[in-house]
A = this chain, B = another copy of it.
Amino acid sequence: MLSALDVARRLDAGTLSLDALYDEVEAAIARREEEIGAFVSVDIAAARTAAHGAYGPLAGMPIGVKDNIETGDRATAYGSAIHQGYRPAVDAAVVALARRAGATIVGKTVTTEFAFFSPGPTRNPHNLEHTPGGSSSGSAAGVAAGFFPLGLGTQTGGSVVRPAAFCGIAGFKPSFGCLPTVGVKIFSWSLDTVGIFARSIADAAFGAGVLADRDWRVDGEVPAPPRLGFVEPQPWAQADEEMAVALERVRIAAERAGAAIRPVALPPVLREAFAAHQTIQDYEATRALAAEVDLCPEKLSPVLRQTLDAGAAITATAYDDAQRTADQARRAFADILSEVDVLVTPSAPGAAPIGLASTGSSVFNRVWTLIGAPSANVPGMTGATGLPLGVQTIGAVGADGKMLKAAHWLEKCVAAAADN
C-alpha cells in the first residue's frame, strides 16, 4: 500500500520523483485492476501530466474518486444505468478542493448504484471471493491494492467505515457538513457525508485535514492514552464470534497500554435512533431520486425500487418524528462523549462476507452517521481466514481532531499487540 504521508514527504524531499510514483501506480494497476475492478474509468497519463504542474500540500498525490462525486473532466454515472456517460459541467466541490491542494485523479472508482445497496463488480484485494464492502467499494479496494494512497468516498449508513474495515485500511468519516457534498449525487441530504480512505489513520487525517481546512494531523504525535468507551451491550446487532474475540483483544491491549476503559450503556433514545436512520434515509431517498424514478424506473435495480417504494409509504409525520429522535439522540450522545474521548465498537459484524451479491451490513455504523459524529475504521487486525477485521472509533460531533488522535493511538496499540 502507498502511504499518503510517506509519498508527500518523499516527493517534498526529492527522494521520490513524480514519474517513479506514477510508474508505481501504473504497475500496481496493471498487476491487479483486472481482478479487483476498483475503477469505472482510469487515466494515469492525465494524472501524471497534471501532477507535473501541481503544487500545494497534496502536490502530485494520486487519488481515486468515488463515481457518485462529479468530475468535470470525466464521466460520472453514480453507479446507475440511467446516467451512463453523463459528463458534469464542473467538479464537485471536494474534488475541486483536492485539485486545488495539488491532488490528481487517477480514476473514478466503483460505487454501488447511487451509493446505496446494489453492488458493482469490485472484489476484495485480500480475497477475491469476498466483497470489498460498499458503497464506496472502489475507493476502499483501490487504496488496499496500492492504486492510490487516498480515496474519496461517501457514507449514508456505513459506506466509508465498513469497506475500510473489509479492506484492512483506514476510513474516516468527518463530522457532518465538514466536507462539502456540493456536486455529490445526494441520496439522503440529512445523512450523506464525504469521507476518505488511506493506509493509516495518520494518512487519512492528513488528507482529510487538507480538504476540510482543519488541523487534523496526528502523524509524529505520541498522544496520551485516550479514554475509551466500549458499548455494552451492543443494542443493534451481535458481532460474530471472531469479531467479538478481536474486540476483546483490543480492549485488553488498550487497557494494558494505559487507556482508561469504560463500559457505556446507550440510553433508549440511541436505540430508537437506529430505526430513525432508516426512516430518514428512505424518506429522503424517495425524494432525492424522484426524477430518476419518474423518468426510467426500469433502469433502477429491484432492491432500490423496493426501498424507494417503502420510502414513498413513509408519512411526513413519521419523518418529522424521526428527525426529532435524531436531535434527541445527538444531545444524549454529546452527554456520553463528555465522559470518554471516543466510543469503540466493531466496524462491522465481522470480516468481509463471502460473495459479491451484498456489500455487507452497516448495522454498526448507521446511528453515528445519523448523529453526524466523526467516526473511523481502525485497521490492523486479521481474522482466522486472513481477512481484515476493523474496529470503529466514534467521537463527539465537531471533535474530529480528538477522535483521530484516539484512533491513531488505538491503531498503534493494535499494531503493537499484533506484533507480540
Interface residues of chain A, those whose CB is within 8 Å of chain B, are 72, 82-83, 86, 89-93, 95-97, 99-100, 177, 180-183, 186, 189-190, 212-215, 284, 287-295, 315-316, 320, 323-324, 398
Show 23 A/B contacts (Cβ-Cβ < 8 Å), sorted by A.
A72-B295, A83-B89, A90-B291, A92-B291, A93-B287, A93-B288, A93-B289, A93-B290, A96-B290, A96-B291, A99-B294, A100-B290, A100-B294, A177-B190, A177-B323, A180-B284, A180-B287, A180-B288, A181-B189, A182-B186, A182-B287, A183-B291, A324-B398
**Chain B residues within an 8 Å CB radius of A289:** 93
Q: Do A316 and B213 touch across chains, with their CB atoms under 8 A apart?
A: yes
B189 near A91: Cβ-Cβ < 8 Å: no
A187 CB, nearest partner CB in chain B, Å: 9
> Which residues of B sit under 8 angstroms from A177, Cβ to Cβ?
189-190, 323
**CB-CB under 8 A for A295 and B97, given A180-B288, A182-B287:** no
Q: Which residue in chain B gives the minimum CB-CB distance to A90?
A: B291
Cβ contacts under 8 Å, A95 to chain B: 291
CB distance from A181 to the nearest CB of B (A): 7
Highest count of chain B CB atoms <10 Å: which of A177, A290, A323: A290
Q: Are A182 and B100 in contact (CB under 8 A)?
A: no
Contact partners of A96 in chain B: CB under 8 A? 290-291, 293-294
CB distance from A394 to the nearest CB of B (A): 19
Min CB distance A99 to B, Å, is 7
- With contact pairs A95-B291, A97-B287, A290-B96 given, residues A398 and B320 touching in the complex (Cβ less than 8 Å): yes
| Cβ of A60 to closest chain B Cβ, rounded Å | 17
Most buried by B among A91, A177, A291: A291
Q: Which residues of B contact A288 (CB under 8 A)?
A: 93, 180, 182
> Given the complex, which residues of B lie within 8 Å of A86, measured CB to CB?
89
Residues of B with C-beta under 8 A to A72 = 291, 295
**A293 and B292 alpha carbons, distance in the complex (Å):** 30
Cα(A99)–Cα(B295), bound, Å: 11
Q: Given known contacts A177-B189, A180-B189, A182-B189, is B93 in contact with A291 (CB within 8 Å)?
A: yes
Query: Are B186 and A292 interface neighbours, CB within 8 A?
Result: no
Which of A72, A93, A316, A324 has the most B CB atoms < 10 Å from its CB? A93
For residue A189, which residues in chain B have a CB less than 8 angstroms away from its CB?
Answer: 177, 180-182
Q: What residues of chain B lie closer than 8 Å to A91, measured between beta carbons?
A: 290-291
A100 CA to B97 CA, complexed, in Å? 36
Residues of B within 8 A of A398 (CB): 320, 323-324
B-chain residues with CB within 8 Å of residue A293 when the two chains form the complex: 96
Which chain B residue lies CB-closest to A190? B177
Interchain CB contact under 8 A, A316 and B182: no
